[in-house]
Amino acid sequence: MTTKSIDLSLEIWRQKDSKATGDFETYTLQNISTDMSFLEMLDVLNENLTREGRDPVAFDHDCREGICGMCGAVVNGIAHGPEPETTLCQLHMRHFNSGDTLVIEPFRSRAFPIMKDLITDRSALDRIIQAGGYVSVNTGGAPDGNAIPIPSTTAELAMDAASCIGCGACVASCPNGAAMLFTGAKISQLSLLSQGQPERKERAMAMVTAMDKEGFGNCTNERECEAVCPKGISIRNIAIMNREYVKASVLG
C-alpha cells in the first residue's frame, strides 16, 4: 500500500436547477491523496470552493459503501468511473494519475431530469417498482418461513438479481436509455421464487408497461448496462424479462 499525492484537472457539469442550461466548468485540485474515495475528492473540492465563496458542486450520496445506490456520475464517459463493479463512492483515487483530466457529468437520460449539477431525478425507477415489483401480501397472514422449501441454488439466483441497488447507471450508459436491466432484475427475482408465482404475469405486463410510459428506451443488445453495473447484474435478466413478458401477453 503506497499512498501518493496527485494533481488533477476536473471538468464538471454545472447546472443551477432543472430549468437552467448547464455547462462544464474547469477546476484544479492539488495534493489529492490516492487513499481518498472519489466522493472524498469531491468533498475536498467543495470545501475549497466554499472557502473561496463559490458554489460547491451538488452531488447525491448517502451510504458511501456501495449499497444505497444514491451516488453516481459519469466519469470520462463511464457511469461510476473506470473500475468494474464499483460505485462512485467505492472508487478510489489510486486508480488515477497525477495530471489526469476527469470529465464528470450527471447520469443523463430522458427519464432522469437533471435537478442540479450532478443530481438527477430517478423517481421513474420507483414508479416501475410501484407498478408491480412486489408480492401482494399484507402484514400478518404469512405462512411459516419454512412452509415452502426453495432450493438453495434458486435462492442464490434470486439473490443475484435482487442485489440491484437501483442507481440507474444501466440507464445512463444505455445508448437507448433503457431501464431493462433494472426492471428485468426485479422481474426475474420474483419469477424465480414460489412466492412470486401468483402475480407473475400481471407483474411482467405492468412493469414493462410502466417502463415504456416513463420514457425509457428499448434494448438493442448493446450490453453497456451490464458493463457498468456496480453489482454485476447479468444481462440474462433482460432475456428472462422478455420471456416473462411474451408469455404473459401471448398466453394471457
Contacts of another protein in 125-154 (CB under 8 A): 125-126, 129-131, 133-140, 142-146, 148-152, 154
Counting contacts by CB under 8 A, is residue 239 touching another protein? no
Residues that bind ligand FES (CB under 6 A): 61-64, 66-71, 87-89
Residue 214 has which C-alpha cell? 416513463
| Residue number, 103 or 155, with CB nearest to another protein | 155
Q: Among the candidate windows 21-29, 98-106, 163-171, 216-224, which touches another protein by CB under 8 A? A: 163-171
| Min dist. Cβ of residue 222 to another protein (A) | 26
| Min dist. Cβ of residue 86 to ligand FES (A) | 10
Q: Which amino acid is at 145?
A: G
Q: Which residues pair with 14 in a beta bridge?
A: 23
| Residue number, 88 or 180, with CB nearest to ligand FES | 88
| Residue number, 87 or 189, with CB nearest to ligand FES | 87
Residue 241 has which C-alpha cell? 424479462
- Spatial separation of the C-alpha atoms in residues 218 and 200, rounded to whole Å: 22
User: If DSSP codes are grouped into helix, strand and coil, which group holds residue 104?
Assistant: strand
DSSP summary character for residue 92: B
Binding mask 67-106 for another protein (x = CB under 8 A): xxxx---------------x---x-x-x------------
Residue 66 has which C-alpha cell? 456501495
Choosing among another protein, ligand FES, none, which partner's interface includes residue 25 (Cβ < 5 to 8 Å by kind)? none
Counting contacts by CB under 8 A, is residue 56 touching another protein? yes
Angle at 50 (CA atoms; ends 44, 54), nearest 5 degrees: 120
Counting contacts by CB under 8 A, is residue 203 touching another protein? no
The bridge status of strand 23-33 relative to strand 78-79 is unpaired
Counting contacts by CB under 8 A, is residue 14 touching another protein? no
Counting contacts by CB under 8 A, is residue 209 touching another protein? no
- Spatial separation of the C-alpha atoms in residues 127 and 113, rounded to whole Å: 15
How many residues belong to the site for another protein (CB under 8 A)?
80
Q: Using CB atoms within 10 A of its CB, is residue 58 exposed (0-12), middle (13-18) or buried (19+)? A: middle
| Min dist. Cβ of residue 227 to another protein (A) | 19
- Spatial separation of the C-alpha atoms in residues 65 and 186, rounded to whole Å: 22
